[in-house]
Structure 1
Amino acid sequence: MTSRVDKEDGVTDGGPGTSTHVDESTWQGRALVPALVYIGLLIAMISSLGAPLVPTIAGDYGVSLGTAQWTLTVALLVGAVSVPMVGRLADGPRRLHILVAVLAAMTVGSMLAGLPTDVFALLLLGRALQGVGLSLLPLVMGIARDHLSPARARSTMATLSVTTVVGVGLGYPITGAIADNVSYRYAFWFAAVLGLVAIALALLVVPTSQHHPSERFDLVGSVLLAVGLGAMLLAISMGEEWGWGSGRILGMAAAAIAALALWTWHQLRATAPLVDLRLMRDATVTTSNLAGLFAGVGMYMLMSMVIRFVQTPTSTGYGLGESVLVGSLVLIPLSAMSYFSSRLSAALGRRMGPAYILCLGMLAFTAALLFFITERGHLWQILVVMGLGGLGVGCSFAVMPRMIVGAVPASQTSSALAMNQVLRQIGYSVGSALSATVLTAHTTGASPFPTDRGFTVGAWVAVGLCVLTAAVVVGVQLVERSTTPEVDQLLIEENADAAIAGVVGFEPAEVPAAPRRAGADR
């Protein structure tokens, strides 16, 4: 079909079933990339709002630190569940509608979280609605892929992937500065204003996706995933308070196991599953996904513990007694080094296999945890910990997409990368809940603060996860070596650069179909 250019909306329409490219001679076409980058930065900033505010929220609402941690955990949980749901809904002709609806939910959530009330449940509801916005990065990458030329789409997707680091780096100090000078509630209202701007930009410049056919939505899978993850995190978070052997905890654990087992069974048989679990049959894909899950747990355990440690009063005998602003600033080395090491991993990929780079990343993160265990009495030591942690996280997360791209057929790349992102998000929420559980278990007496040993125990748990991840990667590498030719591997590295964040939709023709290993389809 001959394409046409609609000068009113600046979109080249190729008809149903084909991609449409914006006309860059129009202002809408020129504004599309800045609008997508703005939305990407907003998503990252929203994700960072809860982390530095946990101690302040605990004092303001009169709840325990473990309970206040749910303001972070609930956003991550909703993000983990909504990533496949929003991705599936946005695959069809209503992508612009889904984008605006999610931005609206995120904006309303910001307003609810910023209300001057002492109702903690309302704050949790607001944070949950904000968490829906964490699912938008794959969607905006899909918009770039569909409506930009191939060369510009690749560069834009790479830029969008970097926003996950840059946006968090901006969000931490902005949140801290607002909380220190006025009230932390204004940080949520600031996010609401930014959300309204994002909605306006989306309506003005983002094209429709009516060229995409309608996709079936797996409602049953969505409900089972939400119930399973919610019950699991609630059991982990409340185990210490309710008692690990109590009927409520055992019931939650049983419900989580049953729901996730049913979800797995359903996904393997669904014609349009939320997450294509059949891809887990490949050993490299399974290894990458387990690494994403465990690394996500370790990253948020470290981040949550460091924030609480830095803001713990010196009267406890171990805390640094710093402000929310300083607690936010100590996370910047994590963001900065994550970006630097993601670039470094691309260079290392030309000298060694991706599995070995992943192991190096896990070892660097282990070094950060060990340093935190032994040396955390001064602020500069905390900055070193976060820098080492960022080095490990950046290398690990950057190389996972490359491992997956080299292991699956080109037509399954999007599904495989989406699954890795879902498991990574689950790891974030589990890490947030697990850190709260460990620290709550070491909170004794009338003091609301855990003992110093609680931070040590939590760090050792994260060390165990990192070591386990590295051992699994090495074991799989020894059992099953990649046979991908070097020339194809370099092409894979180049195409996967846009997937640093772990979420990207490749056009099938853009990614070389790497030769399969023997037995990979079994």
Structure 2
Amino acid sequence: MSATQRRSHYQVTFAVLAVSVSAFALLQSLVVPVLAEIQADLHTSQTTVTWVLTAYLLSASVCTPIVGRVGDKVGKERMLVVALAALSVGSLIAALSTSIGPMIVGRVIQGVGGGVLPLSFGIIRDEFPAKKVPSAVGAVASLSAVGAGLGLVLAGPIVRALDYHWLFWFPMIITAGAAAATVVFVPESPVRTPGRISVLPAVLLSSWLVCLLLALSQGSDWGWTSATVVGLLVATVVLAGAWVWVENRSVSPLIDMRMMRLPAVWTTNLVALLVGFAMYGSFAFLPQLSQTPTAAGYGFGASVTESGLILLPSSVTMFLAGMYSARAARRIGPKAVVVTGSLIAALSMGMVAFVHDHPWQLAVANAVMGAGIGLIFACLSNLIVAAVPAEQTGVASGMNANIRTVGGSIGAAVMATIVTASVFPNGLPHESGYTRGFATLMVVMLVCAAVALKIPAVGRRVIEEHLVGEPEHPQLGMVAGGTLVGDKSE
């Protein structure tokens, strides 16, 4: 099949990718509002039921960059089918579970689907017309954020109309259909990275990510100064150092450390960390704030469904802003868009911190937050895709998504520590805890804006012309700071 024939179907390919990414993103947050119900139904403890989230987070963090790298080497379409199949099988196991063990196993298998996002970016870069790449990448990136927010909104109505098992049945049906559609409609990308896949870097990467995320996710329960948490953090530092050392000396590295040191890459990754910190910290505690009984002197006593509706505006504005971001990036540059989005998000966090007396105020703040986050996510993805050679798109975007997840884990842990520092005898946090917590998120987004100012400027020519390799310039290796650099012949 010729390149022209392949690209004539890019809109169908985009539809399949959009459904795939949305399903994965939904699974990130659908279970958050109903953990208490799962705990009661499966007759388990609160500590154990948190592994329904933790297991998924750990698995996705380990698998996302690895699956992206394998896709770069053996074929993105092939690995996309594998990732979607894992989501479907994992969802089936979770849907059929009658005890906590199989539920956690299902969530671990679902985590393999984390590779959907970097694989989608790689397929877009390889298959879409050059001028369509920025908007398509931006839309898919926005869907990944929108899906996470929408999961919090949809959980209540689904559980109320059916039961929590349908939080897995629906994604299973969707991802199985997307896997079949991928086989039929998504062409195999011709861009491959030669060489074998190194096992040791993959093991070391997985090990330090597991240690870090396990410490962050369980620190509040085990105690931040406990021997277990401190040991995990020390192991993280040691294993991460060993991983970098091995990657720098590997003939076929899993992640090219030279690529990670590019100004356009490390600054974008740092922004992703801070955005993940603020977004997931906010998503984790906004429902709790709205569900707090009015007897506490604040909160609205909202149900799961009602708190979801308060969050709905952020999903809408996030998607709309993501769709607009490519046009804004062409006009003022992606760097300016990321800075603007960070300031907008900081404003929204300040609104929640200091103005949360009525539900409509939280809804407005959420709408503002969605606009800011939507602008940032779409541009971050485009900056990463533009900053690396085509054959490293999967691993680079996978690592960026991974860093965002790590930031989210840190954000949720820090917010939990701040919000619960002072509580009533009944266990409810004082209102001041939420004020301090969201004020902290505001400061984080202001720091994010300052970091975004360090992102190298990327011109319109690079955005529109060099997100995919040009046949007349096969020697160009990567794009950084608006300048094409890196000769593959070197």
For the aligned pair, the TM-score class normalised by the smaller chain equals 0.7 to 0.9
**Preserved contact between residue 348 and residue 368 of structure 2 (Cα < 8 Å):** yes
How many pairs are equivalent?
Answer: 482
The offset of 1:188, in angstroms, is 1.2
CA contact 1:178–1:187 (8 Å) conserved in 2: yes
- Stretch deviating more after TM superposition (231-240 or 359-368): 231-240
Corresponding residue number in structure 1 for 2:119? 139
Q: Report if the CA contact (8 A) 2:277-2:410 is conserved.
A: yes
Residue among 439, 453, 468 paired with 2:447: 468
Contact 1:23/1:29, CA 8 A, preserved across alignment: yes
Is the 1:357–1:396 contact (alpha carbons within 8 Å) kept by the matching residues of 2?
Answer: yes
Aligned-pair CA distance for 1:59: 5.6
Counterpart of 2:62 (choices 81, 93, 96) is: 81
CA distance in 2 between counterparts of 1:346 and 1:391 reads 14
For the Cα contact (< 8 Å) 2:69–2:392, is it kept in 1? no
Structure-1 residue corresponding to 2:464: 494
Q: Give the Cα–Cα distance (whole angstroms) in 2 for the partners of residues 350 and 365 of structure 1.
A: 21
The equivalent of 1:364 in structure 2 is 344
Matches within 5 A, 1:111-510: 111-115=92-96, 117-119=98-100, 121-146=101-126, 160-165=140-145, 167-168=147-148, 171-208=151-188, 212=192, 215-349=195-329, 352-401=332-381, 403-404=383-384, 416-439=396-419, 441-442=421-422, 445=425, 447=427, 449-474=428-453, 476=454, 482=457, 489-494=459-464, 506-507=468-469, 509=471
State the 1:207 CA deviation.
4.4
Q: Describe the shift of the 1:124–1:243 C-alpha distance in structure 2 as closer, same or farther (beyond 3 A).
A: same
Aligned to 1:35, what secondary structure does the other structure show? Answer: helix
C-alpha separation in 2, matches of 1:352 and 1:226: 38
Deviates more, 1:204-213 or 1:357-366: 204-213
In structure 1, runs of 5+ residues without a counterpart are: 1-10, 13-18, 497-504
Give the conservation status (yes or no) of the 8 Å contact 1:47–1:131: no
User: What amino acid is the match of 1:288?
Assistant: T
Per-residue CA deviation, residues 486-514 of structure 1 (Å, 9 max, x unaligned), is xxx12234359xxxxxxxx8335599976
Please report the TM-score for the alignment, with normalisation by the length of structure 2: 0.83
Cα separation, 1, equivalents of 2:341 and 2:284: 20
Does the aligned pair in 2 maintain the 1:76–1:426 contact within 8 Å? Answer: no
How big is the shift at 1:296?
0.8
Amino acid at match of 1:456: T
* 1:106 maps to which of 69, 72, 87: 87
Query: Displacement of 1:21 after TM fit?
Result: 4.8
Residue 331 of structure 1 aligns with an amino acid whose one-letter code is: L
For 1:209-253, what per-residue CA distance to the aligned partner results, in whole angstroms no more than 9, with x for missing partners? 688576422322222222212222222233333232221121111
Unaligned runs of at least 5 residues, structure 2: none
The amino acid across from 1:186 in the alignment is W
Check whether the contact 1:240–1:440 (CA below 8 A) recurs between aligned residues: no
Is residue 2:70 matched to residue 1:92?
Answer: no
Contact 2:138 / 2:378 at 8 angstroms: preserved in 1? no
Equivalent residues of 1:296, 1:428 under 8 A apart: yes
Q: Using the alignment, how far apart are the partners of 1:284 and 1:146 within structure 2?
A: 21
Deviations 1:76-115 (A, max 9, x none): 3322322211111122345454333322221222123234
Amino acid at match of 1:46: L
User: Aligned Cα RMSD in Å?
Assistant: 3.8
Q: Give the distance between the partners of 1:359 and 1:29, measured in 2 at CA.
A: 31
Q: What's the secondary structure of 1:371's corresponding residue?
A: helix
State the percentage of identical aligned residues: 32
By how many angstroms is 1:379 displaced? 1.4
Is 1:40 the counterpart of 2:40? The answer is no
Preserved contact between residue 276 and residue 415 of structure 1 (Cα < 8 Å): no
- How far apart are 1:156 and its partner, in Å? 5.5
Give me the whole-angstrom Cα distance separating, in 1, the residues matched to 2:386 and 2:371.
Answer: 23
The 8 Å contact of residues 232 and 256 in structure 1, kept in 2 or not, is answered as yes
Query: Which amino acid letter does the alignment assign opposite residue 469 of structure 2?
Result: E
Report deviation, 1:299. Answer: 0.6
User: Does the residue aligned with 2:163 lie in a helix, a strand or coil?
Assistant: coil
One-letter amino acid of the counterpart of residue 469, structure 1: C
